[in-house]
Amino acid sequence: MSRTVYFDYNATTPLDADVRAAMLPFLDEFWGNPSSVHHVGRKARALLDDARDRAAKFLGAKPSEIIFTSGGTEANNLAIFGTARALKGKGKHLITSAVEHDAVLQSFDYLEKKEGFAVTRLPVNSAGRVAPDDLLKAIRADTILVSIMAANNEIGTIQPVAELGAICRERGIVFQSDAVQWFGKEPFENISQFNADLVSICAHKFHGPKGAGLLYIKSPLHPDPILFGGGHENERRAGTENLPAIIGLVAALEKCVKPPVFSKSKLQEHLLKLAAAVEKIDGCEIVSPRENCLSNTLSFVVRGSDGIALMAGLDVEGICVSSGSACSAGSLEPSHVILAIGKKDLANSLVRFSLGRDSTAAEVDFIISVLPEVIRRVQLAGKPASRL
């Protein structure tokens, strides 16, 4: 393979060199357990507290509102399970959307099937966007939690979370937003811009380490823990804190979020060129919305093919892309996002280009040069012999 073109930044990003440098002392010099009472542990505790203070200052939150987790999946699970169980005495109706990440959807599925909650899954329009009016109509007297993502990982749709959150706040309903794909890509001022009581963040989506995330929990909300075994994280998340990863998370926040490390001006130029090329290929249809979309994401479906074959064909050329969520890699299930936007017959043929800091015009040109032939081969392979 002569070259590698990595256009899968929504799946993960390479660790930033400065972030790595910030982490290194915590893999060697500062190795104590922050819960230990001796001086080695106390030093680790002081550094953990400092990291929490830095994260809170950056987000515009209180230190007590920051819970460090192992990533976005755990943050979403803690937000949803913890809040639903803590508030079930007030009601057992929950609302989410049809296009959430599986970490959210499967949490709601479990609560519905195993714990007696009622779940309303809001539809989306052809751009994958939730209508505030649909949320208003879905709210009931026993609604206790609404969860809508800030930006979609598969097609890039940006949701009107501030408006949705305002609807919930006016009615005293807890609002959670999975903002994993937002940070580092869209403008960020402070955590209040989401109008959310709970916000999930994941470090490796913006050049931080894997295994690190956080959940913002607006005071005085106190979700039930989902992990047990110790009083860590203000008794909200048991388990010894991963101090090197936490330091990396905070360093990545401070370096890569303000301004966003994914440069909108640079990436939009690349995406416009890619989009123009995709539109010229027979059978291709772009499903990422033209407006209110992540500036690094271009997703399309290909009639007469499937996403796994397309990814394999591109990988042969050294091109790394995705067919929907990286967390569902290898799955033969159709994309639930494509199903939700009304393209049932094309839900197995999604291709996602997600560009990043290191993407170049030369890489875009290379993809444009090989993409038509890759698609042609896959479409040809999928035709019945009688039609050849």
Question: What letters, b where the CB count within 10 A reaches 16 and e where it falls short, cover 72-102?
Answer: bbbbbbbbbbbbbbbbbeebbbbbbbbbbbb
Cα separation of 155 and 342, whole Å?
14
Q: Is 202 exposed, middle or buried (0-12, 13-18, 19+ CB in 10 A)?
A: buried
Coil, helix or strand for 29? coil
Q: How many whole angstroms separate alpha carbon 22 and alpha carbon 35?
A: 22
CB atoms within 10 A of CB 377: 15
Residue 33 and residue 53: Cα distance in Å, rounded? Answer: 19
Q: Are residues 33 and 44 in contact, defined by beta-carbon separation less than 8 angstroms?
A: yes
Residues marked active site are found at 327
Residues in the chain: 388
What sign results for the dihedral spanned by CA atoms 153, 190, 108, 236?
A: positive
Determine the Cα–Cα distance for residues 78 and 69; give it in Å rounded to an integer: 9
Is 152 exposed, middle or buried, given 0-12, 13-18 or 19+ CB atoms closer than 10 A?
buried
Main-chain dihedrals φ then ψ at residue 344, nearest 5 degrees: -60, -40
Indicate the residue type of 33.
N
